[in-house]
Amino acid sequence: MGSKIEYVDSSHLYATNYVRNSKAIGVLWAIFTICYAIINVVAFVTPEWIGDLDTEYPRKFGLWQICRTDELEECKGKLEDFLSIDGLVFKIATVLVGVAVAMSLFTICALLLFFFCQSTTVFHICGWIQLFSALSLVGGVAVYPAGWNETSVQETCGPTADQYKLGGCHIRWAYILAAIGCLDGAVLSALAFILATRHVRLRPDAGYPPPSLYKGEVNNGYVTDATSVSGSRKSLALQPVLIMHPHAPMDMDTYSHYSGRTARSKHGMYANTMHNYQL
């Protein structure tokens, strides 16, 4: 029973592996894009950026909410009433982070373009959106500490609280989550541009022999050390080769290995050979 031998160019193997790995990385990028949007939404709506619950005025501060936690939690500030947000700096930070949230959600919607457009185009679009979203989120996180000199913040954090000085309060988990979102957005944006610009360029066929020579059945009975990588020795249609002595005189009788031994061979350089080679 013959054994099937298939010969594949190494560049095709590399291209296959690269495409498979790039698809896996693209799926992970889409999953983390969704996670990035969730991080932004949670950080935006949660009043857990700074605060202190052990003072005379226990409060938790978010982007646009200030919540008292003494007996009954009561929050001040509403998005639908933008003027009710305390302080100009907190308003600016709310707008910047809100833009980041909107862009991250729009990136998820842009993932549907993979069904209608080329992947490189979609990765470019999503990369730019994520870049602007990350920059907007970085701006909101950087601007927010400038509002720590507000009266409500100083009542909770003490008179030492000032711009970029927290006083007696502590940074809470939502502010840390927003900082992680900044890094996440920058990494996802860079990865989207890499996936959009790096693609496989397949080389043209380099004149391969007909398929019957490098793909087919090899008879095990003919498999020897002289078997060609192109197939069995039978499939190559070998022709007899005439071996000539390179330095023999022109009038000297010289015969092929494939010729029979005759009376004339006594004059040739192969006269003493005892072998009769046959095909």
Task: Tell me, yes or no, whether 65 and 16 share the same domain.
Answer: yes
Task: Tell me, yes or no, whether 45 and 125 share the same domain.
Answer: yes
Q: How many angstroms separate the CA atoms of 22 and 16, rounded?
A: 10
**pLDDT tens, residue by residue, 218-246:** 455 544 544 444 444 444 454 555 555 55
Straight-line distance from the first to the last Cα atom of the chain, in angstroms, rounded to the nearest whole number: 25
Of the candidates 180, 197, 214, which is a domain's last residue?
197
**pLDDT over 80 (residue 4):** no
pLDDT value for 51: 87
Q: Residue 68 CA to chain centroid, in angstroms?
A: 46
- Output 88 or 268, whichever has higher pLDDT: 88
Task: Tell me, yes or no, whether 136 and 273 share the same domain.
Answer: no
The continuous run of DSSP H or E covering 123 comes out as: helix 119-143
**pLDDT over 50 (residue 208):** no
Within-domain flag for 193: yes
CATH code for the domain of 127 = 1.20.140.150
Within-domain flag for 212: no
In order, the DSSP letters of 128-157 are HHHHHHHHHHHHHHHHGGGGTTSHHHHHHH
Mode of pairing for the β-strands spanning 50-52 and 59-61: antiparallel
Contacts (Cβ under 8 Å, ≥6 apart) of 198: 22
Contacts (Cβ under 8 Å, ≥6 apart) of 17: none
Amino acid letter at 138? Answer: V
**pLDDT tens, residue by residue, 33-81:** 999 999 999 999 998 899 888 777 888 898 988 888 776 777 887 888 8
Q: How many angstroms separate the CA atoms of 131 and 182, rounded?
A: 10
**pLDDT tens, residue by residue, 114-171:** 888 888 899 999 999 999 999 999 999 999 999 898 888 888 888 888 888 888 888 9
- Output 37 or 83, whichever has higher pLDDT: 37
Domain holding 258, by residue range, is 233-279
Within-domain flag for 72: yes
Task: Tell me, yes or no, whether 189 and 254 share the same domain.
Answer: no
Within-domain flag for 79: yes
Strand partners, 67: 60, 75
Q: How many angstroms separate the CA atoms of 106 and 126, rounded?
A: 9
Report the number of distinct structural domains present in the chain: 2
Of the candidates 197, 224, 249, which is a domain's last residue?
197
Within-domain flag for 152: yes
Helix (H, G, I), strand (E, B) or coil at 51: strand
**pLDDT tens, residue by residue, 250-274:** 555 555 454 555 555 444 454 444 4
**pLDDT over 90 (residue 16):** no
pTM of the model: 0.65
Task: Tell me, yes or no, whether 27 and 101 share the same domain.
Answer: yes
Of the candidates 197, 219, 243, which is a domain's last residue?
197
Task: Tell me, yes or no, whether 58 and 143 share the same domain.
Answer: yes
The continuous run of DSSP H or E covering 121 comes out as: helix 119-143
- Give the burial class of 115: count Cβ atoms within 10 A of its Cβ; 0-12 exposed, 13-18 middle, 19 or more buried: exposed
Residue 59's nearest CA partner among 133, 203, 156 is: 156
Helix axes 10-45, 173-197, angle to 10 degrees: 150
Within-domain flag for 155: yes
CB atoms within 10 A of CB 6: 8
Task: Tell me, yes or no, whether 181 and 63 share the same domain.
Answer: yes
Task: Tell me, yes or no, whether 264 and 177 share the same domain.
Answer: no
Task: Tell me, yes or no, whether 175 and 86 share the same domain.
Answer: yes
pLDDT value for 183: 94
- Give the burial class of 48: count Cβ atoms within 10 A of its Cβ; 0-12 exposed, 13-18 middle, 19 or more buried: buried
Q: Report the half-sphere exposure of 48 (CA within 13 A, side-chain side).
A: 11
Task: Tell me, yes or no, whether 256 and 178 share the same domain.
Answer: no
Contact in structure between 169 and 157 (CB atoms under 8 Å): yes
Strand partners, 74: 68
Within-domain flag for 226: no
pLDDT value for 237: 52
Task: Tell me, yes or no, whether 16 and 130 share the same domain.
Answer: yes
- Cα separation values, 146 from 143, 149, 239, 260, Å: 6, 7, 90, 105
Within-domain flag for 35: yes
Average pLDDT for 20-42: 89
Task: Tell me, yes or no, whether 258 and 127 share the same domain.
Answer: no
Contact in structure between 87 and 9 (CB atoms under 8 Å): no
